[in-house]
Structure 1
């Protein structure tokens, strides 16, 4: 399994398009959205400045991009090419394949988070305590595992031709409705009610709580745990189903 993880990391790091959209793109969006905002301009209903709010949002968005986009398309294509079938002939257990995909995606998500933090600190002068930087990195990285599991599930659910549109709809839908691109507080009341139950909204809320020196809300943590169980369980079921068809 360790060899497969190393192979997955090597493939991801060689993919320049993937690295651009998962590492550079979130930082560019942060500068585009927060670049013209003043240092004291705040987001209504959050108590956070535009820069600190969007820093967490874009770091979460970058991690989401790394784990969701990378996993889903790669797995669907590997299934069609016969690579997954070849792996089943080895001693690698099925759970090892799923774990390797999730672990490699999680490792690649770290640069996405750190680069956004560096840009926010140097360009927009975002200042936090040392423990907050560490807690933010850990919370956003750990939360990305939820979407890594979702990526695995989509990769086993969709064919090679259908995986991209399904992933893009899921990716943009969760990002926009979850409040990663714009504050959910600007949504109509009915849409805010929906957004509060989405995994991306709970995901960003972890970092926002840490920025305010608060503990993450129990509801947000519970939502992420439940979504992870659903996505991971769905991925495991789809993997077994795919194995029976092979």
Structure 2
């Protein structure tokens, strides 16, 4: 499995387009959104400045990009090319393939988080305590596993031609409605009610609680846990179904 993880990392690091959109693009988007924001105006209901609020949003968005976009497309194309079938002929267990995909995506997601944080601190002068920076990095990185599981599930349910549009619809839908691109307080009431139950909203809320020096809310943790069980369970079932078809 270690050899497969190294191979996956090597492939990801050679893909310059993927690296740009997963590592650089979120930081650029953060600077565009928070570009003219001052250091005193607060986002309604949070007590956080726009730059501090959007820093967590874009770090979460970057991690989401790395684990969701990378996993879904690679798995769907590998299924069609016969690579997954070849791996089944080796001693590598099925869980090893899924773990290798998740681990490689998680490694790539870490730089996307750090780059957003560096941009926020150096350019927008966001200041937090050392423990908050460390806690934010850890919780956003760990939370991305929820979407890594979703990426695996999409990769097994979609064909190579259909995987990109399906992933993009889910990707942008979760990002926008979950409040990663703009505060949900600007949404109509009905969209705010929907956003509260989306995994992306709960994901970013964990980080914002740390910025506010608070413990993450139990509801947000529960929402993410339920989605992880659903996505991981769905991915496992789809993998077994795909194995039987092969």
Q: TM-score, normalised by structure 2?
A: 0.99
Q: 1:228 & 1:6 partners in 2: Cα distance?
A: 25
Q: 1:12 & 1:147 partners in 2: Cα distance?
A: 17
* 5+ residue gaps, structure 2: none
Deviation at 1:44, TM superposition (A): 0.9
Q: 2:173 & 2:140 partners in 1: Cα distance?
A: 19
CA shift digits 1:45-71 (9 cap, x unpaired)? 111100000000000000000000000
Q: 1:168 & 1:21 partners in 2: Cα distance?
A: 13
Q: 2:35 & 2:123 partners in 1: Cα distance?
A: 8
Partner in structure 1 of residue 122 of structure 2 = 122
CA shift digits 1:108-155 (9 cap, x unpaired)? 100000000000000000000000000000000000000000000000
Partner in structure 2 of residue 131 of structure 1 = 131
The number of equivalent residue pairs is 246
**1:176-191 superposed matches below 5 A:** 176-191=176-191
Q: Which runs of 4+ in 1 moved over 4 A?
A: none
**1:169-208 superposed matches below 5 A:** 169-208=169-208
* 5+ residue gaps, structure 1: none
Partner in structure 2 of residue 236 of structure 1 = 236
CA shift digits 1:73-114 (9 cap, x unpaired)? 000000000000000000000011011101110111000000
CA shift digits 1:168-196 (9 cap, x unpaired)? 00000000000000001111111100000
Q: TM-score, normalised by structure 1?
A: 0.99
Q: 2:78 & 2:91 partners in 1: Cα distance?
A: 18
Deviation at 1:39, TM superposition (A): 1.0
Q: 2:109 & 2:40 partners in 1: Cα distance?
A: 30
Partner in structure 2 of residue 113 of structure 1 = 113
**1:29-178 superposed matches below 5 A:** 29-178=29-178
